[in-house]
Homo-oligomer: A and B are copies of this chain.
Amino acid sequence: MSSTSIEMTSLSGAWAPVARRPLEADQARAFAPMFKALGDPVRLRLLSMIASAGGGEVCVCDLTGSFKLTGPTISHHLKVLREAGLVDSDRRGTWVYYRMVPAALALLAGLLDVTAVATPV
């Protein structure tokens, strides 16, 4: 488990959507690397390819063909997503297989949930 995943777990229940309550400094420090990992077009596309994969996981061998990038560059982007706790991976034989971490995406979506605001009277 990466340190980011640990921080994420420790945040469970402690945070509220940004539209409801300001984040504490330590909460912001835990969430920021996850958003930063999404702040790149290649990583966003990779995440969407992994998250929408029919079988729940994708072989790295099926990801590289969609980009005009070298294998090591794709691997670097996948490592950033993994270290941010957004995807997980398993090596089986020659290939590495990636799957999304739904709890991490749900956490970020919940943080940005503007419908969670109490309607002002």
Contacts and interface: CB of A to CB of B under 8 A. Distances in A.
A96 interface: no
Main secondary structure of the interface of A (DSSP, over half): helix
A22 B65 CA distance: 14
Given A22-B49, A113-B109, A39 B44 contact: no
A19 B114 contact: no
B32 A48 contact: no
Interface in A94-109: 100, 102, 105-106, 108-109
Given A39-B38, A41-B25, A51 B105 contact: no
Interface centre among A25, A38, A56, A113 (most CB of B within 10 A): A38
